[in-house]
A and B are shown apart, each in its own frame.
Chain A
């Protein structure tokens, strides 16, 4: 069974802090994704990566960056946390080169981040 592990379930940070959200998958998946989930807005894609050291902007990349130094690990970075980044963050991975059709996403349990 695919396991996608997010390092923290709950996180509280102060405005202006640099925040790292870590995600590790154990199935040798090429593709990894970071989503943000807010009530009424569904799942919005922040960044994704189809290979090591590769990254692409999703729909809402502003205020975020990512790092993928190893295939199994995909980190989301909030350079200077703001209150409007308070949200649930979900990491996901999938098999297949280039993230193309027919490759189901496997999600982590999520990190609920509160920025005060």
Chain B
């Protein structure tokens, strides 16, 4: 089945710097790649997603890139702010009728 690897597991950046989180997937037929943000004590919430027919998508300070050949996708956060501190999960939906498979998460800390 699908396997999603996420790196790094923890990431600390200075406020204003950029943060990049990378994920790889194993099923070449996977076609939907969402990213979820989970603030401390709260539920995971979708922040951005990308489909396999698109290489990049941006929404203000966040962007996601997808490289189908290499089977990896990345989350980019620019001009980080303290409120970006959270755990971020990547996910992929494999082929067929199967649910999302999540990476193990990245704990991002933005230091003021």
Contact = CB atoms under 8 A, between A and B. Distances in A.
Nearest to B30: A101
B44 A101 contact: no
A27 interface: no
B99 A101 contact: no
B111 interface: no
Interface string B21-57: 0000000000110101000001111100101000000
Interface in A18-66: 31, 33, 40-43, 45, 48, 50, 58
Contact of B99 (A40, A48, A90, A109): A48
B64 to A, nearest CB: 14
Contacts of A101: 31-32, 51, 93
Contacts of A109: 42-43
Contacts of B31: 101
Bin chain B's interface residue count: 20 to 34
A33 B44 CA distance: 14
B89 to A, nearest CB: 6
Contacts of A110: 43
A104 B103 contact: no
Contact of A90 (B44, B51, B100, B105): B44
A98 B98 CA distance: 8
A42 B43 contact: no
Given A42-B89, A43-B89, A90-B43, A105 B104 contact: no
Given A90-B44, A107-B44, A110-B43, A100 B97 contact: yes
Interface of A: 31, 33, 40-43, 45, 48, 50, 58, 90, 98-102, 104-105, 107-110
Interface of B: 6, 9, 31-32, 34, 36, 42-46, 49, 51, 89, 93, 97-100, 102-105
